[in-house]
């Protein structure tokens, strides 16, 4: 009888969590910064909304494309490494046995036990054993381009929609302040949630993402004021 003890670990979420947090953070920061820069240049509320909406669409597509291309490159590298292992296993089985046993010795196993473990794992699934223990490729952490692209695009759009909602609902007087403060609040919530899901310190996660967001929005507002005043 085979006993399986199933546990849920934080690392299992990293494939989509990284892309989702990055997308939502970029959606909030870039869109809030964009509309603040446009507002600082004395644009009309309708022009601010148009600019923000265009930024949402462009940003979501850019995030999806960027994540897909970058993660697909990782997937291509994993595929190439696995193909190389297949060739090496076919041409030098004994050498691959020794290589795998040496990995287990390096991790602390007795040489004789390491050889037994290598023999049994290679008899069960040689390619899987080398992919996992030599290359570090596992089912949990393997590249998933479509998952990363979709998580990034959806989370960017959701994050970007928040500052646009503030622009649509907040009074024109003091709009910059409304956008800035609510964006910081959204970023703090996002940072705290991401830290909690990822098993990290909530306060540190919220503070880190909020400070960087505040810097980005302040710089973009300064640019808007500079060019708006020059016009």
Domain-wise residue ranges, the chain: 17-222
For residue range 82-95, list pLDDT tens digits in order. 888 888 888 888 88
Distance CA 16, CA 148 (A): 6
For residue range 139-168, list pLDDT tens digits in order. 666 677 888 888 888 999 999 999 999 999
Q: Write the CB contacts of 28 (distance below 8 Å, at least 6 apart in sequence).
A: 159, 160, 162, 163, 183, 186, 187, 190, 213
Distance CA 102, CA 176 (A): 61
Tokens of 200: 């990290």
CA triple 3-130-144, angle to 5 deg: 80
Q: Is residue 94 a contact partner of residue 101, using CB atoms and an 8 Å limit?
A: no
In 3D, which of 92, 90, 86 has the Cα closest to residue 129?
Answer: 86
Radius of gyration of the chain (CA): 25
125: buried, middle or exposed (CB in 10 Å: 19+, 13-18, 0-12)? Answer: exposed
Quickly state the pLDDT bin for 103 (edges 50, 70, 90).
confident
Mean pLDDT in the chain? 82
For residue range 21-51, list pLDDT tens digits in order. 778 888 999 899 899 888 888 888 889 999 9
Q: Any alpha helices (H) in the chain, and if so which ranges?
A: 14-40, 45-91, 93-106, 111-133, 145-169, 175-198, 202-230
Quickly state the pLDDT bin for 6 (edges 50, 70, 90).
low
Distance CA 197, CA 67 (A): 21
Distance CA 8, CA 17 (A): 15
Answer whether residue 10 shows pLDDT above 50: no
């Amino acid at each position: 009888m085979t006993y399986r003890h199933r546990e849920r670990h934080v690392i299992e979420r990293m494939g989509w969590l990284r892309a989702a947090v990055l997308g939502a953070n970029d959606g909030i920061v870039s869109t809030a910064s964009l509309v603040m820069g446009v507002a600082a240049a004395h644009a009309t509320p309708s022009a601010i909304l148009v600019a923000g909406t265009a930024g949402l669409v462009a940003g979501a597509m850019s995030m999806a494309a960027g994540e897909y291309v970058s993660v697909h490159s990782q997937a291509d590298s994993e595929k190439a490494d696995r193909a190389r292992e297949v060739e090496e296993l076919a041409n030098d089985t004994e050498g691959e046995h020794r290589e795998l046993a040496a990995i287990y010795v390096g991790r602390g196993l007795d040489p004789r036990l390491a050889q037994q473990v290598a023999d049994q794992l290679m008899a069960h699934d040689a390619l899987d054993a080398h992919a996992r223990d030599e290359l570090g490729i596992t089912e949990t952490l393997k590249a998933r381009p479509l998952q990363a692209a979709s998580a990034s695009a959806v989370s960017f759009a959701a994050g970007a929609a928040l500052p646009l909602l503030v622009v649509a609902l907040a009074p024109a007087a003091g709009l910059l302040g409304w956008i800035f403060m609510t964006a910081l609040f959204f970023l703090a919530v996002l940072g705290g949630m991401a830290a909690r899901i990822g098993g990290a310190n909530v306060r540190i996660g919220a503070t880190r993402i909020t400070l960087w967001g505040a810097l980005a929005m302040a710089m973009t507002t300064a640019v808007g004021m500079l060019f708006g005043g020059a016009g």
